[in-house]
Amino acid sequence: MKAPKMYKIAEKKVIKDDYAPTKDGKREIDPRPSFSVNADEFPDIKDWSVGKKYKMEIEAEMTGSSIGEWGEDKGKLTGTFRISGIMSDDNEFPSAMKMKK
């Protein structure tokens, strides 16, 4: 069995923005996907600190996909996911996040 591959996503990306307050009409964004989870769903966060990085594993259902039609995303595939479970390095999925059968 292959070891899982970690895909790194750049923390900064420069995009064209006609409304950017710069002469070149560009601005910097953080393109990384983000999600929120509360401590009832994932108790591990009670002991975590903002700004630190943590290894987590998520279980997600793909709920859609699309091909960009304009701008920098034109022709690029985007997937939409619903998170159904989450765990950290040494803990199981919390019962509140386990998929119901």
Give the other-Cβ count within 10 Å of 79's Cβ. 11
What's the pLDDT score for residue 66?
Answer: 96
Which pTM was predicted?
0.62
What's the pLDDT score for residue 95?
Answer: 59
Phi-psi region of 76 (alpha: psi -120 to 50; beta: other; left: phi over 0): beta
* 61 within 8 A of 84, measured Cβ to Cβ: yes
Question: Per-residue pLDDT for the chain (101 aa), expressed as one digit of tens each?
Answer: 677 787 888 888 888 888 888 888 888 888 888 989 899 989 999 999 999 999 899 999 999 999 999 877 889 999 999 999 988 875 655 555 555 55
What's the pLDDT score for residue 97?
Answer: 54
What's the pLDDT score for residue 101?
Answer: 53
What's the pLDDT score for residue 98?
Answer: 56
What's the pLDDT score for residue 64?
Answer: 96
